[in-house]
């Protein structure tokens, strides 16, 4: 079952690597929770309404904070947020 879920995330992100949800969780905790808590992901009026928009938002935040994440780390955070909150 985990293999199927991992393959689904891999296909959704269109990346050459399988997303690392644990790394995404760690990066999110270290860099994102200082600005906001999980309510931003669960509120009725959330801005993110698609996987593409989630990617755009994660990249916006990464750039705003001048984080030096590699593309695979961005993908890890996107996959983590999608799995934990969005379920696109």
User: Domain ranges in the chain?
Assistant: 2-86
- Please state, in angstroms and rounded to a whole number, the distance separating the CA atoms of residues 10 and 19: 6
* 18-55 pLDDT tens trace: 899 999 999 999 999 988 888 999 888 888 999 999 99
pTM of the predicted model as reported, rounded to 2 decimal places: 0.78
- Please state, in angstroms and rounded to a whole number, the distance separating the CA atoms of residues 19 and 77: 8
Q: Is residue 77 within 8 Å of 28, Cβ to Cβ?
A: yes
Residue 66 has pLDDT above 80, yes or no: yes
């Amino acid at each position: 079952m985990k293999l199927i879920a991992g393959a689904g995330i891999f296909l959704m992100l269109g990346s050459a690597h399988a997303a690392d949800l644990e790394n995404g969780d760690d990066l999110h905790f270290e860099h994102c929770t200082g600005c906001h808590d999980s309510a931003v992901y669960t509120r009725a009026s959330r801005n993110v309404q698609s996987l593409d928009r989630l990617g755009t938002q994660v990249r916006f935040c990464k750039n705003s904070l001048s984080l030096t994440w590699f593309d695979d780390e961005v993908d890890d955070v996107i996959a983590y947020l999608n799995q934990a909150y969005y379920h696109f």
